[in-house]
Structure 1
Amino acid sequence: MTASDFDSKSPAPAGESNADCHAASGPMEVGDEVRWKPASTGLEFPAVPFPSRRVFEVAGASLLRALVRRHHQRLLNTPIGHLFPKDPARFAAGVEKTADFIVEATGGPALFTANHGHTCMRSRHFPFTIDELAREIWLAQLLSAFDDVGFPDEVREEYWNWVESLSIRVINRRTMRAAPRRIPLAGAATELADALALQRRVAAVAV
C-alpha cells in the first residue's frame, strides 16, 4: 500500500476492468476455502489465492490491524518510505484504511467497502514507481512484522500466499525481462536477504 491508498478513490485507468479489482460492488467475497483469481498471461500475472475466512477467525481483527500497523511502521524506514505521506495524521489514517481492507478481505466486517467502495490495487498504485526491488522490500518488512506481532503460524502461509502473488500485480516499472520471482514463505528470509541487507544499509546511514 502506498500514498495513493491513503487518499480518496482513484478510478481504474482505461483498459482495467472490474475483473482486475478486488470487489466490483458490495462487500468482498470471502468463503470457507481459498478463492483463486485466475492468472493473466498477457501481463505475466500469476493466479492469486484470496484468503478464506479462516485467517480472520484465527488471527482476529486486533492482530490483523496490529500487523498492518507494524508493517507500515517498518516501511517508513526503508528505501520505499517516500511512497507514504510524511504527515503523521495522514499516514495514521491511511494505515487504518489499509487495515480495514485487510480485515474485510480476510472475512471480517465490511468496513472498507462500506466507506470506500471497491478497490483496484493496480490502479491505486499507478501514480508511484514500484519495481521488483520495491516489492521485495515490502515483502521483507511483512515477513519481519509477522514475528514482531506474533502472527499465528497456522495462517501465515495462507496470508503470505495471497499478498505475495497480489504484490506482483502492483509492480508498474519492470527493470528485468524475467518475470518477478516467486517467493514462497518457506525460505522467504533467504530469498529476501538482498532486500533486507539494503534496508540495514539505509538504516545505518540514517543513524
Structure 2
Amino acid sequence: MSTPVGQQVAAIRRTPAQAQRDFRTLLDVLARPGSIGTLLPPPEGPAAVVPVIGLADLEVPLAIVADSSDARWTRAVEVATQAPIVPLTEARMVLALRPLTTAELSSLHRGDPMHPEHGTRLVQSVTGLGVPNRQAGVNLRLTGPGVPGERRIAVRGLPTEFFATLSAVNADFPAGVDTFLVAGNGLVAGLPRSVNLDLSGAV
C-alpha cells in the first residue's frame, strides 16, 4: 500500500531553522567547489529533494527525473514547492533522482553570456561522496574560482561520461549549469559552472 501524498509532503517539508541551515550549506559548497557539506536527510524519501525544497518555488520551472522506485516523490515535491512541473528542456531547476543520460544533461538550459542566470540548477542524486578512492567511483580533481590550488573528490553512482558532458555543457562560461551532488546520507557537494573538472583520476 502506497504512502498518501500528504504524508510524503510532511516528510520532506523543512522547518524554518532547517531551511536556513540547508541554504547556508548549499551556498557554502557552491562557493567552495569540491568541499563536502551535510544536509539533514528527510525521515523518508530521497535526500536529493532537500535542496529543491529549499530553492524551488512557484516561480521556478522544475523538472523531476526519476525511475519507477522514486517516481512517487514527484507529486510530493510538486505540492511542497508549488513549482510548475515542466519538460526537462524548459526547466530552471532539475531534480534528478537517477543519473541523467548524456543526452538529457546536454539538453539542459544553459542561459547565455548576457543572461547566465537563466542556466539550469541541477540537483543530482548520487550513491556516495568522499575522499578519492581508486577502487570505486569517479575521482575528480577540481580547480578554478573558489578552489585554493585544487580539491579532489570521489563520486559514486555516476559514470565518467556524466562529468565529461557536464564540462562540455559549461564550456561557454558564464553560461552553463550549476550542479549539486547529493548522497543518500545527506552529504552534498557543489559543482558551479565555473569549476574545471579533471577526469584523469576517474576509474
TM-score by length of 2: 0.30
The higher relative CO (CA closer than 8 Å, separation ≥ 6) is in 1
As a proportion of its length, which structure holds more helix? 1
TM-score by length of 1: 0.30
